[in-house]
Amino acid sequence: MATAVHLDGITKRFPGVVANDDVDLAVRRGTVHALLGENGAGKTTLMNVLYGLYEPTDGQVYVGGEPRRFDSPRDAIDAGVGMIHQHFMLVDPMTVTENVTLGNEPRKWLGLTVDEERARREVVDLRDRYGFDVDPDARIEEVGVGVQQRVEILKALYRGAEVLILDEPTAVLTPQEVDDLFAVFEELTAQGKTIIFITHKLGEAMHAADEITVLRDGRNVGTVPADEVTREELAEMMVGREVLRTVEKPPADRGERVLAVDGVSVDDDRGVEAVSDVSFSVRAGEVFGIAGVDGNGQSELIEAVTGLRDPTAGRIVYRGEDVTDWSRRRRIEARMSYVPEDRHERGLVMDFDLTQNGILGSQHSDEFACDGRLDWDAARDHAETIIEEYDVRPPNRRAAAASFSGGNQQKFIVGREFERDPALVVATHPTRGVDIGSTEFIHDRLLALRSSGVAVLLVSSNLEEVRGLSDRLAVVHDGEIMDVVDPESATEEEIGLLMAGEDPSDGSGPVAAGATNEGGR
């Protein structure tokens, strides 16, 4: 089969950093190729070279057998290479058709106005050809993330892409949407398109790709056919040592009840009830896990617990006091730590450096503020402690938070929240986007907190993570707790059914059909 893309000896240096070191990559036409590696392995950099965002320091790019030199993405697009970034570049108030044709609109009346009928027709044709389930007249703000992603793909196809690069395409999707995406991959390759997707999830690479290339420290560790490799082999290639251990934890030494949520209901931003009459409690020295497909009320529930959202009903009792009406600040001062779901919006101030971010939430505490005056020396020391203990790279407390990679941002937030001397840690997706080594480290710290008598409320859509860490596991669906199970004895199937809103014990079918698909935001 012909080679669609061939990268020959690509080296990309940045000041002080070699992001890609003599990487060869050959992708056959009509296949799905996964680019697998940990955070900072150089996957995105390599694809940015192919997409014309970076000029390689050394090496040659061949597309369709021709040597190419791209000065900008436009050159790459003209050569039939399209890239879909993690953050979608769509205009929310505009329709699907408008977004797909944006910048390349068919024109009429001497190019003075957009030929809307033709644009719509072309988009419909394109959609039908690839069998996408997309309404051309829907506005982007009205459709889910999975559909938005398909719009991005349509956009690339509309511009004539033969090779599609997707950067971490599954990061924002629910398991259901991930399956849909992989079906789209199949459809596209069947029609001769070539797909390269970046991921750090082993399972996805094995499931969806024909071939997998593993990058580590900027080098190509090897390219293997997906059906001839095991997870263990891939994991070892990724990290350079044997991994995939199971979390081992001593039995829980439960203390007093730290958090009690009693009949709480919460509305989401649109005023629709997202959490309905939920009750549970978390004791000192235990990890209480919440599993569920993203968007089933976990975010709203957690925001109610941490003081970012007012519940519409019910009580939240923390260390014996009713804290339902307490401000966020008061809860922080009462030693409630919170690793938020969205690190870019909430967890970090992107323009602040790490020193300033290190005191976010503690800016009024005695430790950093004496009579309202900030002690920047203490803040500096604090930031350096977190950077060192939690292995934040590069170890530069003066750098703006925005300049760190996602995994390192997460490590810094986790460090800040765990170092607060908490009585309760609320952690949502604490290892999202974090590489394997750091994930292990964060899990160890979480369990160390548990051993020292801290109550932990853990929310994760990663079933392995919540099952491995939790002492008790609540499964939520559509704003309700379906059941609280023992993670050791419950099978993955049972939990999966609960997540889908079905009760495995009576098999009476979906409790609330369709709610799972609308999940992620």
Considering only residues 314-343, where is the footprint of another protein by CB under 8 A? 327-329, 331-333, 338, 340, 342-343
- The residue type found at 294 is D
Question: What is the contact mask toward another protein in residues 31 to 70, using x (rule: CB under 8 A)?
Answer: ------xxxxxxxxx--x---xxx---------------x
# chain residues binding another protein, by CB under 8 A? 105
Shortest separation between residue 361's beta carbon and another protein, angstroms:
4
**Closer residue to another protein in complex, CB, 5/359:** 359
Q: Which of residues 207-226 bind another protein (CB under 8 A)?
A: 216-218
Both tokens assigned to 292: 């569920």
Which residue carries 């957690």 as its tokens? Answer: 302
| Binding range to another protein, per CB under 8 A, among 18-26, 118-126, 284-292, 489-497 | 18-26
Shortest separation between residue 395's beta carbon and another protein, angstroms:
7
d(CA 501, CA 511): 5
Binds another protein (CB under 8 A): choice among 91, 183, 190, 244:
244
Length of the chain: 521
**Closer residue to another protein in complex, CB, 17/513:** 17
Binds another protein (CB under 8 A): choice among 191, 395, 448, 451:
395
Q: Which of residues 406-445 bind another protein (CB under 8 A)?
A: 406-407, 429, 431-436, 439
Binds another protein (CB under 8 A): choice among 172, 282, 301, 497:
172
**Closer residue to another protein in complex, CB, 276/405:** 405
Binds another protein (CB under 8 A): choice among 8, 22, 78, 389:
78
In 292-402, the DSSP E strands lie at: 313-318, 321-322, 336-339, 369-370, 373-374
* Residues β-bridged to residue 222: 214
Contact between 298 and another protein per CB under 8 A: no
| Binding range to another protein, per CB under 8 A, among 9-17, 103-111, 221-229, 283-291 | 9-17
Alpha helix segments (H runs only) across 250-353: 298-306, 328-333
Q: Which of residues 256-295 bind another protein (CB under 8 A)?
A: none
Torsion-angle region of 131 (φ positive above 0: left; ψ -120 to 50: alpha; else: beta): left
Q: How far is CA 42 from the centre of its chain?
A: 18
CB 375 within 8 A of CB 356: no
Q: Count the Cβ atoms, other than its own, within 10 Å of residue 42.
A: 25
Contact between 152 and another protein per CB under 8 A: no
d(CA 474, CA 466): 10
d(CA 67, CA 6): 9
Q: Kindly list the distances between the CA atom of residue 254 and the CA atoms of 96, 322, 426, 450, 494, in Å, as whole numbers in the listed order.
A: 53, 21, 17, 9, 26
**Closer residue to another protein in complex, CB, 194/355:** 355
Supply the DSSP string of 133-191, one letter for each residue. ---TTSBGGGS-HHHHHHHHHHHHHHTT-SEEEEESTTTT--HHHHHHHHHHHHHHHHT
Question: What is the contact mask toward another protein in residues 99 to 138, using x (rule: CB under 8 A)?
Answer: ----------------------------------------
Q: Which of residues 453-492 bind another protein (CB under 8 A)?
A: 460-462, 464-465
| Binding range to another protein, per CB under 8 A, among 56-64, 126-134, 284-292, 396-404 | 396-404
Shortest separation between residue 190's beta carbon and another protein, angstroms:
26
**Closer residue to another protein in complex, CB, 120/429:** 429
Q: Which of residues 342-371 bind another protein (CB under 8 A)?
A: 342-352, 356, 359-361, 363-364, 368-369
d(CA 101, CA 120): 9
Binds another protein (CB under 8 A): choice among 5, 7, 10, 19:
19
Binds another protein (CB under 8 A): choice among 66, 71, 242, 506:
71
Contact between 394 and another protein per CB under 8 A: yes
CB 262 within 8 A of CB 282: no
CB 8 within 8 A of CB 65: no
Helix (H, G, I), strand (E, B) or coil at 165: strand
Shortest separation between residue 418's beta carbon and another protein, angstroms:
16
What end-to-end distance do the CA atoms of the chain give, in Å? 39
Which residue carries 């056919």 as its tokens? Answer: 225
Selection from 22, 1, 5, 157 nearest residue 66 by Cα: 5
d(CA 268, CA 37): 36
Q: Which residues contact 492 (CB under 8 A, 6 or more apart)?
A: 463, 467
Shortest separation between residue 169's beta carbon and another protein, angstroms:
10
Binds another protein (CB under 8 A): choice among 228, 248, 373, 489:
373
| Binding range to another protein, per CB under 8 A, among 78-86, 104-112, 157-165, 511-519 | 78-86
**Closer residue to another protein in complex, CB, 61/284:** 61
Shortest separation between residue 201's beta carbon and another protein, angstroms:
5
Which residue carries 């398991």 as its tokens? Answer: 175
**Closer residue to another protein in complex, CB, 108/231:** 231
Selection from 425, 414, 377, 375 nearest residue 392 by Cα: 414
Binds another protein (CB under 8 A): choice among 252, 374, 378, 512:
374
Helix (H, G, I), strand (E, B) or coil at 115: coil
Q: Which residues contact 55 (CB under 8 A, 6 or more apart)?
A: 49, 71
Shortest separation between residue 410's beta carbon and another protein, angstroms:
9
